[in-house]
Every structure is written in C-alpha cells, then in structure tokens.
Amino acid sequence: MALLKAAFTVLTSALLLVQSPRASEYQVKAVFLFNFAQFVEWPAVATPDSQLPVIIGILGEDPLGTFLDETVRGERLGLRPFEIRRYRALTDITACNILFISRSESERVGEILAALGKRPILTVSDGDDFAKRGGMIQFVNDKNRIRLRINLEAAQAANVTISSKLLRVAEIVRTPRP
Amino acid sequence: MSPRRTLCLLVVLAVSAPPARAQQRDSIEALKHLTLDQLMNIDVMSVSLRPQRLFETPSAIQVITQDDIRASGATSLPEALRLASNLQVAQVDARQWAISARGFNGTTANKLLVLIDGRTVYTPLFSGVFWDVQDVLLSDVDRIEVISGPGATLWGANAVNGVINVITKDAKGTGGLLVTGGGGTELRGLGSARYGGGLGGHGNYRIYGKAFSRDPTLLSNGQAARDGWHMGQGGFRLDWEAPDSNRLSLHGDWYDGRIAQASPGHIAVSGGNVMAKWAHPFSARSDLTAQAYYDGTHRDIPGTFGEDLDIYDIDLQHRTAVGTRHDVVWGVGYRLINDRVVNTAALAFLPAHVARQWFTAFAQDEIALASDRLHVTLGTKIEHNDYTGFEIQPSGRVNWTFSPSRTLWAGISRAVRTPSRIDRELYAPGQPPYFLAGGPGFRSETELAYELGYRHQQGALVLAFASFYSRYHGLRSLEQVNPPNPTPIVIANGQDGESYGGEATASYHITDDWQVHAGYTELRVHIWPNPGSTDTSRGTAESHTPNRQLSLRSSLRLGAQWIVDGGFRYLAEIANQQLPAYAELDARLSWRPVAALELSVAGRNLLHEHHAEFGTPAARRDIERGVYGMAQWHY
C-alpha cells in the first residue's frame, strides 16, 4: 500500500504542471476540414438531396488517420451527416464536396486540379504553393500555427462560395498569370 | 485497512483505464468548439503527442466499425466479434460462445478483458464472460476495438491475451426514432426501438428496448437440443457537453431472459448496470476522466448453481503532456465485488458468499524520440488483490513510423491472470467427500509476451501483420492430492506453456463502392506439465483452438439503393476436441428504397445444413443454417 501511495503522490504532481494549449498538427487540420463545410456553399446541383452526406475525400497517403473520422463522428450539417472517403485514384472521385489532397500527391497537383476542372469540389491541401497552383485552400504552417491561404478565383471558377467569415481569417492569393 | 481507506478518500479510483482513443476524442471535441480565429492560434506540435492514429498503435489492434457490423448481418455481439480475425470465436450452443485471442479458448476462456463502454464484463467467478447476457443495440455501436496480445498495463486486469472494447455512440449521434423488426429461422424474432433527442442546448439522450427469441441447436443425433432462449433488454444514455468542454455521461441497461436447459427447469438470467462518466479537459494537452459504475447480475441454473453478483467500480485517469516529448497517462482504480452463490448437490463455491476488492494504479509514458517518427512507450500496472497481494504488469513498446504509410512496432509485456473464484473456491460434489477440493494454493498465472508488427498503407490498400511469442508459467492444472489415488484432486499451477503465431489482415477499396477484407491467423499453443505435476492433460482443459483461420469479406454497393455483402470463414480442426475443420458463409442483401427505410435479408452459415464449431463429440451441438429478414425504419 505504501508503494501505491508513493506512486499516487508522485503522479498527482503531474496535475500541477502548467499546460499550454497545444494539439497535434493533423488534429487541427482535421477540425479545419470539418469547419470548412460550414463556411462553404456549393451550387444546388452538387447537392440534389438535402439528406445526402457531406463527403470529405482524401486523395493520396492519408496523414489524418482517425482524426478526421473522430472529428465528424455524429456531426451533421443541417440534416446531412458527414462521410469520409479515401480515394486511391482520381477516377474514384465521384460525389465529393471537400477534397483533401495529400502532400504525397504534390508532384501531380497540377494534373489533379486540371482533371477536377470546374467540378464544385472544395480542394484543400498542405502541399507547397497549392493555392498559387490553382488549389482553393492551402494550409500553411507558420511557426507552429496553421494559417490559411485561399485562392478565391479558383473557388469562384468552380462555383464554390466561400463565406466572408472564412475569407477574413485567410490570406487571399491569385494564380500567377503567365 | 486504514491506508486503503485513505486512498479511497483521496481519489475516485480505477480498475480499467478508458481507451487511449477516448482522449483523442476529448481533445478533438475541445478543438471543435473553437472559432476559426482561435483554431488558427492553437500551437501545433511538430511532435504528435501520442500515436493516436490507429495506424501507429504499437499493438495488434483491429477495429470493427458500425458499417462492418451492419454489413455482416450480425444480430448479437459474439456474431459481430467474428469480424475480428485476431479473435478465436466459436458458437458452442444456442447461447454459449467460446471467445479468446491467441489461443486458450474455451467456454470459460479466462485471459481476455472485455469492456462495454468502459464497464468490465468478465465475471470474477471464472475470469471469463457470460456471453449470453452481453448485449447492446448493435445499431448504436460506434466501433469495437479488438486488441490481441497483452494490454494489461493500460487497459486493466485480465488483459492477458487480449482486450475487446465495445464503444457505443454518443447520444448526439443517435437522434430520432429507429425501429427494427424481423425474424426467420434460428433467429426466430428480433425487435428493437430506440428514440433519441436533445435536452436543452448541451445535452442529448436516447432510450432503447429490444427483445429476441432464438431457436435451439441440434444434438449429435439430429434432434433439437433444449437450449432455445429469449431475452429482453432496455436502457438509456444521457450525454451533456457543457460550454466549458466538461463532458458528463450517464448510461444504464437492464435485461431479463429465460434459457431452456436439458435438466428440469429454465435458466433464468437478469441484471442491470448504471455508469456515470465525467471528462474534464484542462487543455488540448491534458485531461482528466473519472467513471463509476454498478453492475448487478443474477443467474439461476437449476440443479447446477445460482449466483447474485454485485460489482462496484470506480476509476480515475489523467493524461498530460510533459515538455514536448512526454505524454503521460496515469490512473487509479478500486473495485469491490459481492458474490453470493447458491450451491447445489453437483458443485459448491466455498465460501458461498465472498466480498473481494481490487486496487490498481497504472502509469504510462509515451516518449517521442525522433520527431513524430519514433515513440517508446513504457508503463506498468500495479494491482493489489485479495488472493495474491501485489501484482506488477510492466510493458515496453516501440513504434517507428518510418514513412506516413509504414509503421513497425514491437513490444515486450508481462501480464498475469490473477485467481478467480473458480480457481480457489470450487468444490465438487456439493458435499464432502469432495473429488475436487478447491485450489487453496492457486497463484496467478504469468505470461511474458514478445510481439512484432508491421502496418502498411498504399492508397486504398491497408496491410497489417502481427507476430508473437508468449511464454506462460503456472498455468492451471488439476493435481492428485494423494497420488496414485485419482481423487481427490485440487486446482494448482502445475503447467507451463508457450504460444506463437501471426495475424495478418488486408483491406482494399477496389472502388468507392466495393471493398474487400481478408484476415488470416496462424497459431500454436503448447502446454506441458512441470516436474512434480500429476496433470497429464497437456492443457486439453485449458485451450481449444484451431491452428489457423481465414476470413474473407466483401461489401459491394450497387447504385444508391442496394448493398450486397458476403463473409466467408474457414477454421482448422480443433485437434484436442476431435472437432473437424469447417468453412461457412454468411451473406446479406440490403435494399434502401427511401433514405428512412432499409429492408434486408441475411443468411447465416449457408454452406451446410448444420455444423459444429466447438466441443468434444459427446457434448457437441450443431449450429443450423439460418435465414432471416429484417426491416429498419429511421425517422
């Protein structure tokens, strides 16, 4: 019993440690992806049935693991539940509202965005220069904080409306014209 | 008694630690409450605190999702557990199941920890599970985590060879009215209703009720056995989430059932439990969870035995990050059981009435050694029980995620199975002279396990492999008191053993609408008597396990309305029961004409009219092919 008490005393002291709010990078990115659904409007044709799930897709090697699944579990956007899909190939992407493109696909981002064309899918990635290359939202790591970079023109071209609340906290960039 | 009491007063204590992923969920819940501005100001660790990704967990974990359960057409928890290929699952008769991991299977398999929403459901009577009374509304299950291998350090007592963790959905995820009804052969009838809604702005609730009736199995002569049964169960769950992120949960279940038996009378089972949980996040890096529950069970088997068991259990767990490299989880627990057995002429537990208590404390530190790639986890559990005093169960694990899609892990753990009532206090017949005279000297069985595993994700393909070698000391044996006289005998620790093998799984999304899964397990268990032991059974009383098993599943969505699912399984022979190898197929067709309505027809054990899964030739029961139809309305 003395041993138990000693262990208890030592461990209680852990409670007293000062804690700053920190979280793992992809935990926060998962929560951002979930939040985007509330700040984006898709054209009506993209969501013909109000009961259909909001589909968040992941293309390429998935760094989010269970974070995204945990984040959307039990959540709804109005009546619509969330669904996570993991895509192996571009051709697998059928119905999709938000597409997270993994860094593993960085080299062929141009090709992916070209293939998606004007389909009303919110494209998101943390790959370098994603927004400048025509992606809609880019996660930028800035001294342990996550910033957003939004290519508004790319979103408008695909008829995806991004709320001013989201635009306000983001850096707006354009695709450089040749 | 005094220091124990002091400890009780100091804290609310714990036997079983809530799953690590619950903490992940807590921190995500906290993050979800932040505004965009706040979210952008969260300090992101370059080092991930813990390997919360399932993919990086340094143990052999398989997860059965709600979709998997629905696709399988399972109508009971044991049927759903067949979906984890790292478990050995055998249906014994209409109500009994033998379920274990890494061998040592039997109707009283005793090396597995089973939790339903954090409530330990193995019985202190024999350290095993009465599967006939472990029921949940399967459509409310969020997921079932199945870990093969020792999990004692973090998970709690009895996790010698595995942990089954059944997690139901938060009440927030089960709103509206869900009505299910159906029936057929074998599953004669099943009906359930669940209703959920909101309570003010921050709370949600659900209530449910269900009932089923199941047909008897077949005796070896082809006649129906007397083991048909029916059961009713109801329960509730309340979840509150305060604006300050404190979370409170209260849930309970009650059940009552009747089971036919060969001897006169019916087996009567009833019980209820109620649990309260509280989670308090200090920050994304630190949280505290506490839980307390009561679990009461009643079982009357006329002519054999009767039991009334009350369990009181209280747990506290705290997780905190220390510096940038350490993620510490520690907890304490207290458990009290009050067990009253009604002895019969056939057997007796002596003393008939016991109160026993357990004290546990555990601590685990996960250390990030190299960025977020290499983690070492060191921990130990210290337990005090009334039979053997202190027991220490340390483990060391390492996981190396050498690319986002590849993880290698290894572990060394010591685990103990402490005595249960059956090991120390079982006498037969019910009056002297006894031929079985208890186990006055029975100590804990101990295990040292070495594990090595690898996971690989390549796009839509996920591969996992786990291998293990375990060495056991002091396994249960039956010893002659006055050899060479065959009786009396006592229960002792006269056997040693080893087990080794591998578990492999592969999942592949062929398309968005078609996914396939394969699981394969190869397993060997050897048990031998120690010098001086008179037990020559070589473990035939302790482990009934096939050497290999294979499962294949396919789920195919056809358009928006139809789903076709199939599940094939092959299990090798159980040599020490002369039970032949068998293969079986389950299939299900589901039609959803409108979003709110699902109609399905499911076939179970389709390949043979009947087959046996467990038991010696004389005691064996045959499980018949079954077909049932089901309608589910979600409003």
CB contact under 8 A, B509 and A70: no
Chain A nearest C-alpha distance from B117 (Å):
16
Helix (H) or strand (E) holding B25: helix B20-32
Q: Per-residue pLDDT tens for A87-115?
A: 888 888 888 999 999 988 888 899 999 99
What pLDDT is stored for residue B500 in this prediction?
97
Ranges of chain B with pLDDT below 50: 1-23, 45-52
CB contact under 8 A, A21 and B283: yes
Q: Which residue has the higher pLDDT, A169 or A37?
A: A37
Over 50: is that where the pLDDT of A148 sits?
A: yes
Domain annotation for chain B: domains and CATH numbers: 2-634 (2.40.170.20)
Beta-sheet pairing, A122-125 with A98-101: parallel
Residue B586 phi/psi, 5-degree rounding, is -115, 145
Q: Per-residue pLDDT tens for B363-390?
A: 999 898 876 678 899 999 999 999 999 9
Mean pLDDT of chain B: 88
Whether residue B484 has a cis bond before it, omega within 30° of 0:
yes
Complex prediction ipTM = 0.77
What pLDDT is stored for residue A15 in this prediction?
32
**CA–CA distance, B181 with B17 (Å, rounded to integer):** 36
A71 at the B interface (CB within 8 A)?
yes
Q: Which residue of chain A has the CA closest to B52? A: A66
Over 50: is that where the pLDDT of A22 sits?
A: no
Which percentage of chain A shows pLDDT scores above 70?
A: 81
- Going from the C-alpha of B622 to that of each of B582, B602, B618, the distances in angstroms are 12, 20, 11
What pLDDT is stored for residue B6 in this prediction?
29
CB contact under 8 A, B363 and A11: yes
Q: DSSP state, B579?
A: B
CB contact under 8 A, B318 and A61: no
What CATH class has A23-173? alpha beta
CB contact under 8 A, B285 and A87: no
Q: Which residue of chain B has the CA closest to A64? A: B53
What pLDDT is stored for residue A14 in this prediction?
32
Which are the contacts of B589, defined by CB distance < 8 A and separation ≥ 6? B562, B563, B564, B565, B600, B601, B602
Chain A nearest C-alpha distance from B160 (Å):
22
To test the contact with chain B by mutation, choose from A1, A8, A24 the residue with the greatest count of B C-beta atoms within 10 A, namely A24
What pLDDT is stored for residue A178 in this prediction?
59
Instruction: Place A3 in a pLDDT band, splitting at 50, 70 and 90.
Output: very low
Beta-sheet pairing, B43-45 with B389-403: unpaired
What pLDDT is stored for residue A91 in this prediction?
85
CB contact under 8 A, A7 and B361: yes
Q: What residues in B contact A30, CB-CB < 8 Å?
A: 28
Q: How many CB atoms lie within 10 A of CB B234?
A: 18
What pLDDT is stored for residue B371 in this prediction?
64
What pLDDT is stored for residue B618 in this prediction?
85
CB contact under 8 A, B31 and A35: no
What pLDDT is stored for residue B56 in this prediction?
65
